[in-house]
A and B are shown apart, each in its own frame.
Chain A
Amino acid sequence: MIGSTDVVLDRAAAYPEIAGLRAALRRRDWPACRALIDRLEPSARSAALLECGDEQDAEPFLRGVLNADPADPAATALLGHHLIKLGWRIRTGYAAEHVSRGQAQQFRDRLRRAELLLIDGAARHPGDPAIWTARLLTARGLELGLAETRRRLDRALAAQPNHLPAQLQFLQSACPKWGGTWDLVHGFARDAAAAAPPGSPHGLLVVHAHIEHIFGDDGTDVFRYLSNDAIRAEIYEAAHRSVWHPEFRRDHGWLQALNAFALIFTMLDDRRSAATVFTALGDLADEYPWNQVGADVPVQVLQARAWAYEGES
């Protein structure tokens, strides 16, 4: 049997800049943080700022940075994400129906603080896609409506066409649980994947759309859904345009793309295809969307990986 028995869920293992940024943040060394952030390509930059928003107790440090330079766009986006994550932690620490009125209030309060900061950041740096990406999260949490969410996505895409971190956030907001529709989700995913250059990871938007549809809608019959030829064809086409394309590179988004296809191929009962993406992934995996299937992500991944490789041995 091929393959490791390890499952590494740390995104820093796939994107070394995240480890570097976390280390610099822990040292409270903002010049080092900026040096690292400024070197990144815009998608990787937005994603790193989003990812590192969960650094513990970073708020006083980042406030200090912003006091010294209120216009620092990276510090604005990072503190924005930090406050957003603090807010969601209050809310998702409990099952949704057990969020008390006080917790809901605290959640909104954190998100409002993030949004105020980000409004100012967007006013100063309207062309910074990381700020617009963060504002897609506040728009969702504060329930500012789909039209406003779409406007924020458009600003991010105006800053960088095919800005994947913003597109991933919009896809969530377009789901029915946040006031969207499945047609909107699939249409958006298809168009965004088609608009991206061949070999880019954007095919994962198509997969995320189907996974959300399967797990986010109680009425979906998984078997019937996945035996629909049009849906299967769409998934394979997306794979050919992204993870299976010769131009596919380990640029930002590669981990999420391979990971999403690993799950959907497993669900499609396609061992061979699953094995190709598991091989490319090695030990690595990402929480989402495996966490939609079950709570114990490493077990899910290990089982799926073992099953995929069984066909090859």
Chain B
Amino acid sequence: MIRKKSAKSRPRSTLIVAGLASMTLVLAACGGGSTDSGTSSDGGGGGDSTEVRNAGVIVHAENGEPQSLDPARAEQGEKGERIIDNVYERLVDVGREGPDLIPSLATEVPTLENGLVSEDRLTYTFPLREGVVFHDGTDFTADDVVYSWERIITMNLPEGQAAAIVDSVESMRAVDDFTFEVTIVEPDASFLYSVVLNTVASVVSPEAVEANGGIEADTPSEWMDANMVGTGPYVFGEWKRGESLTMIVNQDYWGENAKSDVRWDVTPEESSRVLALRAGDADIIDISPSNVGDVADVDGVTIFEGGLLLEPIHLGFNMLSDDLPASDTIPTDFFVDKRIRQAFSYAFDYDTYINSFLDGYGARYTAYIPQGVFGYDENAPIYEYDLEKAAELMKQTSYWEDGFVVSVLVQAGEPEFEGVGLLMKDGIELLNPKFRVNVVSQAETQFDDNLGADPVPFALWVKNADPGADPHQFFDPHQHPDGDWGSKHGMRDAYEDPDRIADLIDAGKATVDPADRLEIYSELQQLLYEDPMWVYAAQEGLAYPYRSWLEGFTVNPLWRGPHYEYYTKSNG
């Protein structure tokens, strides 16, 4: 597994831009927003296979395979999440279209209006669906939700997403067989999206868990890593590691049954995936944006253009490391100087990056909200590539005379990330021959190791953000002076007015009224433009080529991958 991912692959969730405009209404009776979950364009010409192959089985040629199928252990954005999404269910879900939450194992989505969210916005009550059966034949009740969530808390695996539940849940209980109640530690406008919709909150069969090793604190379950017993539209089939993974239609599903079985063909090489699609052996393939052109004109292939990933690519400024590479000449507090961060922001060629490294499949975002997430302010200022302004700012510092050398850490084999480092190097070195940027490319495990270290031993690094659906999911880890990166990068000492930033971010989380939230986030986008803690490079676009004989293909902005239950494979 290229762990990548094969083995772990870089988080590349299928969260895409669509009208997430009604995200504000998370608590306030989610009203309908306009939704447009992508456009399709039919290719023409070519002479490749038109006869339906693998009748009744949707074949998805994937570039990797899961690291873990356990909701307690699956990392955000990794392949396991895509399978979990189809085999396990959560209390709420999102449907074919739109960002609005729909009932899943719960029969109603809690809101203030329907009284299922308490006045203090701390307690959520979920009435549950009756007659739901796990794939092992046991009945689903409220106790199973408690069991599944407590399992996450007990196992508390740092590689997974346990923190979503551990950090936000105060207490929970089964009120009766079909009512589940949870109390959270503080009002959180993003709770349903960031916690309840998260794969970590999936409901697993307690019988199956107990029969196969049970729950052990701080320890992964080998059985659950490779087996699944859920309630979803698909039953986990067989996993031939490094080769294929199957999911079978759940004939006892509580909702409408899925139509076709699913097989993942693990195909690490992109050229082979393209050939398999053209031959008709694969119905859906993963592809990098720059290769979409290879299949665009093939007869019988349609390209689903799903907009933009909600996981922006950024370059971070670290202001705390006293352990920089030996070649670096900058002091630890180099980037504490706002002018230098601004100069770096001006010296990055955004258009070239999007047009060449992302092959046009990408767009700019503001500080710090990707397009498609509530609160994105299209009038907020963004940096343009302007070497003169960059030089002007650098001239105000002593480094214009003295020069400097700084290294930027990137992950090897990821052209989208390496490109940011290389263009940053180009821009800065054009300013002044005394400036030097070294691009250090490391394999994923070393890269993750370095980024996990505290302090990070590099002053600059490139990565994408974890995907999110609510602005708070971006501001808190990336911009809050005491947030994950805020404390690791030393933002508190670097921000001109750290308390103002912190107050605004905290207020954004606790505020329910959409208009008030918009105002808060607009101010933040303005402030963070002036005092940038990242170079906000770009959002990557998403495209799925699929065989046109697959009916109903779509990918919702908030799914982690295709939801195969909605697709039908015609038989010719």
Asked if A and B are interacting partners, one says: no
Chain B contacts to A: CB under 8 angstroms: none
Chain A: residues with CB nearer than 8 A to chain B?
none
